[in-house]
Structure 1
Amino acid sequence: MLSPAAAPFLRHIKRCHNVTLPAGRIPLLYQGMTIGLVDPNALDWLTSGPCASLLHVTSNAITLPAGEHLRDISTALIAQERVVPFNEWFDVRTPEGTIIGQIDRALIPVFGVEASGVHMNGLVRKTDGLYLWVAHRSPHKRLDPSKLDHLVAGGMSSGLTPLETLVKEAEEEAAIPADIAQQAHHASTLHYAMTRPEGLRRDKLYCYDLTLPETFIPHANDGEVESFHLTPIQEVFQRVRESDDFKFNVNLVLLDLFLRLEMFDKQDSLLLTRALHGQTKPA
């Protein structure tokens, strides 16, 4: 059992693992493989209009005959104003990782396909200890406005690797030059499945650490971030423990960082690691 000091962190894991799949959703199949889980409320969208000829729909499954149909389906549903588009394409993959097509980001939670993203801990080592750059999201963000965030974080757009995504987002969000961003170290990979207002999130997060010099100051570069604040790691630890100020999945990446920094005792560390990586169901 977790100690009283560590138990509050468990709620962040529970929040990001709040669904047991398939959760009443309809499997989306490609060549016999499940690539997504479709919201039953979207069935009418898929059995009428242009989509009817692009998918084979039954009460038990939805079959995608060809991967290239995903773009046509996205375009059709956006034209019908079923969703508000992000105008950003994400790759859809088989369980083995083969890219079969692309979908507009807005439809990812509707179709329940796995999406990938990157999160980077921007660390600064000072004489008095370790600090973390914390971003304050813009109040105009479509998802999770005004929440606290990582120095760099973003979804992995079509055609990009995790590191390429990191370098791109670092320049766009925090004006971090590519030669510095490329020094980031891939520390871990996290998975979760959760229901949110926008639908089902099945996310894969590539987590990076980057140690920055004290002299480097990030700058909000694209309007997605309102400001950056260099914060002692212990203060970040307490804020994650005691509040929900950080964006929901940022808490998982920070918890992973705290575990790697050995900020918990041995027993708490073991139990939280198992829960974080899905080796045990959060109690």
Structure 2
Amino acid sequence: MPAGWVAPELAEALKQRGLGSRTQGFSLPNPADLESLGEDLAQDGLYRSHHELFDVMPDIDQPVLGQIDRGALPLFGLIGIGVHLNGLVQKADGLYLWTGRRAANKRLDPGKLDHLVAGGVPAGHTPWDALLKEAAEEASIPQDLARQAQQVGRIVYALDRPEGLRRDCLYCYDLFLPESFTPIAADGEVESFHLMPLGEVYTLVRDTDAFKFNVNLVLIDLFLRNGLIDPHSAEGRQLRDGLNHGLSAASPGHKAALGPVNA
């Protein structure tokens, strides 16, 4: 079973390093050499390093084979794990959602609307660890409040992006916040926060591309669970199936197969 999928330019770089061929697929080096391979490819200009290691897995819930720079995951079409938090406020006139506008200097989707809290799961950490860390750094949510978050689902998707093939698994959480709470950005990654009626958020997702690309998926899940999209309709069932099984078709024919890492 392939662990990932690589574009032709990376296939050539791997071939030159003696790691295989486009016809037979590629085998990555021993786990101890994964990090250095990622560094070499970044120096060759194939991707921009994040200077943050993420776990390499052949598939979701499979044993970790090694670590590589976060920026290399889509380059290799490898599974990435992330967390997204719906920061909700129940008011007398309905349900509201805290959104953040991404800073203009963000690498991905600068200036787009985003979740109150979202981020990747670094090597050696659990999604819960990452959620608590991001809650403090991105929105200054106190730990005792952040720990009230409830996991509500897990979404998988595959998407060709400029940075490569994103094959991500997103752990989704709901956190009901008091009306008195106001988020404060602590790490400079958010330009501003906005509390929006959920119906307004639905309209933005339906009619615009105002939100960061993968945030829309988590919001569609939220809409299905709260009746803004009828979960029993044909559209609702199709959307739910796509959210639950988005990686099942993530084997694009124009990619060269990347073999499992040799442990």
2:54 maps to 1:90: yes
C-alpha change, 1:269 and 1:77, in structure 2 (3 Å) is: closer
Gaps of 5+ in 1: 1-32
Aligned position for 1:214: 179
C-alpha change, 1:65 and 1:198, in structure 2 (3 Å) is: closer
What aligned pairs does 1:42-61 form with structure 2 within 5 A after superposition?
42-48=10-16, 51-52=17-18, 55-57=19-21, 59-61=23-25
Aligned position for 2:236: 269
So what's the TM-score if we normalise by structure 2? 0.87
2:65 maps to 1:111: no
| Offset at residue 128 of structure 1 (A) | 1.5
* Counterpart residue type for residue 45 of structure 1: A
Which of 136, 144, 147 pairs up with 1:182?
Answer: 147
Which of 101, 104, 121 pairs up with 2:86?
Answer: 121
> Which shows bigger deviation, 185-194 or 35-44?
35-44
Which of 34, 47, 60 pairs up with 1:70?
Answer: 34
Distance (whole Å) between structure 1 residues aligned to residue 6 and residue 65 of structure 2: 17
C-alpha change, 1:47 and 1:119, in structure 2 (3 Å) is: same
Is the contact between residue 10 and residue 46 of structure 2 (CA under 8 Å) also seen in structure 1?
no
C-alpha change, 1:223 and 1:58, in structure 2 (3 Å) is: same
* Counterpart residue type for residue 196 of structure 1: R
Distance (whole Å) between structure 1 residues aligned to residue 204 and residue 3 of structure 2: 37
| Offset at residue 58 of structure 1 (A) | 5.7
So what's the TM-score if we normalise by structure 1? 0.81
Cα deviation per residue 1:2-55 (whole Å; 9 max; x = unaligned)? Answer: xxxxxxxxxxxxxxxxxxxxxxxxxxxxxxx4211122211332233xx44xx3
Distance (whole Å) between structure 1 residues aligned to residue 22 and residue 222 of structure 2: 44
Aligned position for 2:111: 146
| Offset at residue 65 of structure 1 (A) | 4.5
2:238 maps to 1:238: no
* Counterpart residue type for residue 239 of structure 2: L
**CA RMSD of superposed structures (Å):** 1.9
| Number of residue pairs the alignment of both structures matches | 245
Is the contact between residue 262 and residue 269 of structure 1 (CA under 8 Å) also seen in structure 2?
no
Cα deviation per residue 1:199-220 (whole Å; 9 max; x = unaligned)? Answer: 1110101010000111111001
Q: What's the % identity of the aligned pairs?
A: 49
Distance (whole Å) between structure 2 residues aligned to residue 143 and residue 176 of structure 1: 24
Distance (whole Å) between structure 2 residues aligned to residue 264 and residue 199 of structure 1: 31
Q: Secondary structure at the match of 2:3?
A: strand
Is the contact between residue 190 and residue 205 of structure 1 (CA under 8 Å) also seen in structure 2?
yes
Distance (whole Å) between structure 1 residues aligned to residue 197 and residue 117 of structure 2: 18
Aligned position for 2:223: 258
* Counterpart residue type for residue 240 of structure 2: T
Distance (whole Å) between structure 2 residues aligned to residue 46 and residue 270 of structure 1: 41
Cα deviation per residue 1:68-99 (whole Å; 9 max; x = unaligned)? Answer: 22112012222333322111111001335201
Aligned position for 1:37: 5
Gaps of 5+ in 2: 250-263
Distance (whole Å) between structure 1 residues aligned to residue 134 and residue 27 of structure 2: 34
Is the contact between residue 163 and residue 182 of structure 1 (CA under 8 Å) also seen in structure 2?
no
Distance (whole Å) between structure 2 residues aligned to residue 270 and residue 147 of structure 1: 28
| Offset at residue 115 of structure 1 (A) | 0.4
Distance (whole Å) between structure 1 residues aligned to residue 13 and residue 238 of structure 2: 43
Distance (whole Å) between structure 2 residues aligned to residue 41 and residue 58 of structure 1: 11
2:144 maps to 1:199: no
